[in-house]
Amino acid sequence: DSDLFCSFFRGAPLISVPGQTFPVNNYYLEDLLDATDHVIEEGSRYALRDNNYGEKESLYVTTRGGEKRKEVVDLYSQTDPLEVSSTYSEYKMSTRRSMERVNEEVINFDLIEDVLLLLLIRPENNNTLVAPDGADLSTGSILVFLPGLG
């Protein structure tokens, strides 16, 4: 609704540019992980780090023998590593685990490479990422939207 946007931006002018629209398919991170079998390993540069989870605190622990010692503990309650959220239940288990680990603030260049490899070099292995209706993959383009940096 262009009038709504113009009024929201205090009467901003509406400019109409003639052109052609092209069919586009949207794929999200979980779709790309699933299609490429890309796995975000725990501890990788693309995974959340433990220090992102919660605060650390020092506690004094008394042992059975009466000895006192200082321990640093993570206040984040770790879930059972075998327990996986049902949020992405329609995806492969490796994708579901990767989605729980992923640090979306870090651009995963390895995943971008895997997607391009699948689409351009090994298209015979691709059963998931398909061209929009009527589009020809041999003459199409790939748009990769990345978050702003800085």
Q: Which tens digits make up the pLDDT trace of 99-142?
A: 999 998 889 999 999 999 998 888 888 888 888 886 777 777 78
Quote the pTM value. 0.65
High-pLDDT (> 70) share of the chain, %: 83
Q: What is the pLDDT of residue 55?
A: 65
Helix/strand number for the chain, H first, E second: 4, 2
Q: How confident is the model at residue 98 (pLDDT cuts 50, 70, 90)?
A: very high
Q: How confident is the model at residue 149 (pLDDT cuts 50, 70, 90)?
A: low
Q: What is the pLDDT of residue 36?
A: 96
Distances (CA, A) of 36 to 33, 53, 56, 113, 130: 5, 28, 36, 10, 13
Residues 12-71 have pLDDT tens digits of 888 888 888 878 888 999 999 999 999 999 889 999 876 445 566 777 777 667 778 777
Helix (H, G, I), strand (E, B) or coil at 104: coil
Q: What is the pLDDT of residue 80?
A: 47
